[in-house]
Copies of this chain bind each other. A is one copy, B any other.
Amino acid sequence: MIHNEITSLFQIEKPIVQAGMIWCSGHKLASAISNAGGLGLLGAGSMYPEVLEEHIVKTKSTTSKPFGVNLPLLYPDIDKHIQTIINHKVPIVFTSAGNPKLYTQQLKDAGIKVVHVVSSVKFALKAQEAGVDAIVAEGFEAGGHNGADETTTLCLIPHVVDHVNIPVIAAGGISSGRAMAACFCLGAQAVQIGSAFVMSHESSAHHNFKDKIIQANEGDTKLMLKSLTPVRLLKNNFYQLVALAEKRGASEDELKNILGRARAKKGMFEGDMIEGELEIGQVSAMLHEIKPAAQIFEEIYSDFLATLKKNSI
C-alpha cells in the first residue's frame, strides 16, 4: 500500500482520483471509484444546480467513503453549486478553469479540502497562493480543456513539483499502471484519470461515444480551438469543420459560431457522433474495452505496483 500526503488529505486508500468530467461522471461512476478505494468526483460542469444536488445525494447513499465534486469556476450558476456543495457537506472540491482566489477561502471555511487544476508552473503558484490543499497538474495529452502552453505531463509534473510545497496530482496521458508509476517517478503523489474511466459501464458517456473511442487510433485526437479555449477533440465531422475553419484563419467569432451551443452534450451524452463535440485524451488510442469501473481501477493499481516492483533497485 502507498501512503502519502494525498491519501492522508483525502482519507483514501489508493492514490487514484477519477476526473470529474462533463457528461461522463455522475454518481454511479463516482461512488464506484470511491468504493474501490480511490476518490470519485462528480463532474458539476454539465449539471444544473438541482441535478448536482441529486447526484450528491445519490453518491452519499451508495458510498460511505470520501468523494468530491469537480467545479469549473466559469460555471454560470456557480454560487448555487457552491451552496449545494456546502449544504451537503461534500468533503472535497476540485476547481478548474478559473481564478482559484475567488472561492478557495469560502470552501475551506466550510471545512472542504480544495484542489485546483493547472496546466503550468505559473498557475500552480497562483493556486498555492490562493491556499489550495493540493494541485492537479494536467498535461497537453489530456482530453477536454487544456492549457495554452501545450506542456506535456512528462515535462509539467517535475517542473511543478520543484516549484510548490503542496502535493501534486498528475493528470493527462494516464490510463495504465505503467503511466501511474511514471508519474510517481516524476514526483506526483497521485494520479487523476479521466479517459480510462469514460470507458466504464458506470460512466454516463453515451455508448456511441464509448464505441467510437474503441475505434480511435493514434493521432485521432487533436488540440483545437486554441484561439478560444484549447480543447482536445476526437476527430469527427464537427472536428473537421473546426479544422477547416482554423486552416483558413477563421476569426474567434466565426469559431464561436461553428461551436454553437450544447455540442458536448450532443456528442458525449446524446451520442451524436457527427455533430457532437467529443472530448477525450490521447490515451483513447489504447482503450479498447468497456469494463466495470472497479475492474479498471484495480487493473491500473495492480499494474502500478507491479511496475514499481519490476523497476525496484
Q: Is A150 an interface residue (CB 8 A)?
A: yes
Cβ contact of A154, chosen from B149, B182, B313, cutoff 8 A? B182
Min CB–CB distance A143 → chain B (angstroms): 12
Q: Is A23 an interface residue (CB 8 A)?
A: no
CA gap between A181 and B307 in the complex, in Å = 11
A219 in contact with B139 given A179-B186, A182-B185, A313-B312 (CB within 8 Å): no
User: Which stretch from A48-56, A100-108, A268-276, A282-290 is at the chain B interface?
Assistant: A282-290
- Which of A158, A181, A249 has the most chain B CB atoms inside 10 A of its CB? A158
Q: List the B side residues contacting A313 at CB < 8 Å.
A: 305, 308-309, 312
Q: Is A174 an interface residue (CB 8 A)?
A: yes
Q: Is A169 an interface residue (CB 8 A)?
A: no
- Which of A140, A155, A219, A286 has the most chain B CB atoms inside 10 A of its CB? A155
Q: Are B186 and A178 in contact (CB under 8 A)?
A: yes
Number of interface residues of A (CB under 8 A): 49
Mask for A231-251, Cβ within 8 A of B = 1, else 0? 000000000000000011100
* Residue of B with least CB distance to A309: B313
CA gap between A232 and B116 in the complex, in Å = 29
Q: Is A159 an interface residue (CB 8 A)?
A: yes
Q: Are A282 and B186 in contact (CB under 8 A)?
A: no
A179 in contact with B158 given A247-B249, A248-B249, A313-B312 (CB within 8 Å): yes
Q: Are B178 and A158 in contact (CB under 8 A)?
A: yes
- Complex interface residues of chain A between 125 and 156 (CB less than 8 A to chain B): 139-141, 148-156
Q: Is A184 an interface residue (CB 8 A)?
A: yes
Min CB–CB distance A161 → chain B (angstroms): 9
A158 in contact with B286 given A149-B218, A184-B311, A313-B312 (CB within 8 Å): yes
Q: Is A121 an interface residue (CB 8 A)?
A: yes
Given A120-B218, A309-B313, A311-B311, 13 extra CB contacts under 8 A = A139-B154, A141-B152, A150-B219, A151-B219, A152-B152, A152-B153, A154-B179, A155-B286, A159-B286, A184-B311, A247-B249, A248-B249, A249-B249
Can you list 29 A-B contacts with CB-CB less than 8 angstroms, sorted by A residue number?
A121-B218, A140-B152, A141-B155, A149-B218, A149-B219, A151-B218, A151-B219, A152-B173, A152-B282, A153-B154, A154-B154, A154-B172, A154-B173, A155-B173, A155-B286, A158-B179, A158-B286, A162-B286, A178-B186, A178-B187, A179-B185, A179-B186, A181-B182, A181-B185, A182-B185, A185-B185, A185-B307, A305-B313, A312-B313
